[in-house]
Chain A
């Protein structure tokens, strides 16, 4: 195990690549074999993420960070990969969500088209790579891997609405990728480096012309990342895409917006920290304003949403907005709450999306026509069979799972959403006024509460229409592999409440790591190359 240790952090990238490549050659008739390969690869990723997190916590690594120099080139020249606590937490979230959506897809979606499993593994590879990399161009490559896989997955189960959504999603992301490239080119022109740590070091010493070019580049890069994380004027692709994708894919797409947020968190905090000289805090107000506007847009959109998928989409928009606003607010004390919120809201929205796939089965086609005409003409329903309805187990499960999802998404007690929201509000009230004027703080606070309220209204409306209606005569069938992942995610949400103390300790360490940019820079740039005496 000690021998493997330095190479362990390459496993989350190499394993899915290998698994995905192998599965291309297996015929779709053996979908159970493919599922098994996919699941074991994802399970190994989960174990690796746990192992990396434990190692980061154990203090074995200098500065609690593992640096991997690809092809043994020393840091600013070759590509470096860095695993720290933040990366390990994100890897763990990715693997958990990946395993859950994969198990969910077993009974239906993984069989409906070709190459689902390959694309799924490549998506995980792209996400893991984007989390681990410490090089700007390498980040671009992993983003493209992730996006290319997501294009394929979005079109999975080929129909007209998916094609329409796919066309828009692909064009938006291709243009965003071009922005990404322009940003990289400008950053390179200004500093002559693409390594995160080296960039952070050189930013402080730039002259005015180069600083202007660098900041232009950073702003253009931010457009690419903010498009991914669906900030207000850039996020209009999101509801259409999330509504069109099949359930397990949409659940994974929720994670992609969080990868955008993660990159902004990591890069902005590293490059424009207080050590960045004249560039310190560059763009913070844009992140703050964008986050606040996204939050408001999400809250209004949520109120207007009738379909469950649009509710999920706007919940994802709200969670992106909250995170961006908190990052832009610039108070390090809020970071741990923001990360807790990130984990909790990602899991809840993903579980909700999977749940909506199941609740859609309650409606027979006739019932949905009835529901439509009810919308239009406000027909009074006759209530003759209201007394003593036997609730079958499947319906009871769906109802309870929906209630749990709704509690987390709206941030009501007693589940993890409440802990997250409470700690954010507490942190906002506690933070000193050096970061932003008082009214900004109250604005975020109010908007968070308003967004919570509109989540309650939208979810209640959906819940009442779905579970308290009488026209479901068809007995509902659930496959265990569909119920299990939702249950597992929700149990995670419950256990996050009980382990909130230790979890916050961990996340506090994460935010401390993020603030210690000199330690990160030194750790990456001073990492020694492997000499031949040490061998492989």
Chain B
């Protein structure tokens, strides 16, 4: 399981980094999405990988912490997903605005070989 997770995070990061270095704004936003998936997975595994362990405990009972998953990274991931989603949506709006005003989807707002 460690290998699968590590490989998938690596692949997501790799593709994300390649995509955000591309010149088209749609590629950049796809890259940002992939990167945020990779980061979310990364945060998730900082609570250590475990199978079939609930993150919640019943109040009032004395519990053995090793039987439970760490709930904090899961809470962090939730927050990070929401924030990442909102900011990416905002970028999408700017992307559309830029496409409408400049007539190109190049990240600089103009094609490289055009003469303004």
Contacts and interface: CB of A to CB of B under 8 A. Distances in A.
A177 B90 CA distance: 14
B28 interface: yes
B98 A174 contact: no
Interface string A187-214: 0110000100000000000000000000
A379 interface: no
B79 A148 contact: no
Nearest to B100: A163
Interface residues of A, number: 31
Interface string B8-23: 0000000000001000
Contacts of B39: 178, 181-182, 185
A86 to B, nearest CB: 27
A160 B109 contact: yes
Contact of A185 (B43, B84, B91, B97): B43
Interface stretch (A56-64, A164-172, A332-340): A164-172
Given A163-B109, A181-B39, A188-B72, A151 B90 contact: yes
Interface in A213-247: none
Given A148-B90, A158-B97, A163-B97, A175 B83 contact: no
A171 B43 contact: no
Contact of A188 (B46, B86, B90): B46
B35 interface: yes
B56 to A, nearest CB: 15
A186 interface: yes
A13 B99 CA distance: 36
B20 A155 contact: no
B46 A155 contact: no
A144 B88 CA distance: 12
Interface of A is mostly: helix
Given A163-B97, A170-B91, A170-B94, A175 B35 contact: yes
Contact of B98 (A167, A181, A182): A167
Contacts of A163: 94, 97-98, 101-102, 109
A467 interface: no
Contacts of B107: 167-168, 171
A314 B96 CA distance: 31
A184 B79 CA distance: 13
B109 A167 contact: yes
Contacts of A170: 87, 90-91, 94
A141 interface: yes
A46 B25 CA distance: 41
A185 B90 contact: no
A183 to B, nearest CB: 10
A58 to B, nearest CB: 37
A422 interface: no
B34 to A, nearest CB: 11
A141 B79 contact: yes
Given A164-B98, A167-B98, A185-B73, A178 B90 contact: no
B7 interface: no
A99 to B, nearest CB: 27
A186 B80 CA distance: 15
B68 interface: no
Contact of A171 (B20, B42, B109): B20
Contact of A167 (B25, B35, B76): B25
Q: Among the interface residues B79, B83, B86, B107, which one has the most CB atoms of the partner chain A within 10 A?
A: B83
Q: Among the interface residues A148, A166, A174, which one has the most CB atoms of the partner chain B within 10 A?
A: A174
A137 interface: yes
Nearest to B72: A188
29 contacts: A140-B83, A144-B87, A147-B87, A148-B87, A148-B90, A152-B90, A155-B94, A163-B98, A164-B108, A166-B94, A167-B94, A167-B109, A170-B94, A174-B32, A174-B87, A175-B20, A177-B83, A177-B84, A177-B87, A178-B35, A178-B39, A181-B80, A184-B76, A185-B42, A185-B43, A185-B46, A185-B73, A188-B76, A194-B72
Interface of B: 20, 25, 28, 32, 35-36, 39, 42-43, 46, 72-73, 76, 79-80, 83-84, 86-88, 90-91, 94-95, 97-98, 101-102, 107-109
Interface of A: 137, 140-141, 144, 147-148, 151-152, 155, 158-160, 163-164, 166-168, 170-171, 174-175, 177-178, 181-182, 184-186, 188-189, 194
Given A171-B32, A171-B107, 11 more contacts: A140-B83, A151-B90, A163-B98, A167-B107, A171-B91, A174-B87, A177-B87, A181-B39, A185-B46, A185-B76, A188-B72
Pairs A-B, 4 closest by C-beta atoms: A189-B46, A164-B109, A185-B43, A185-B46
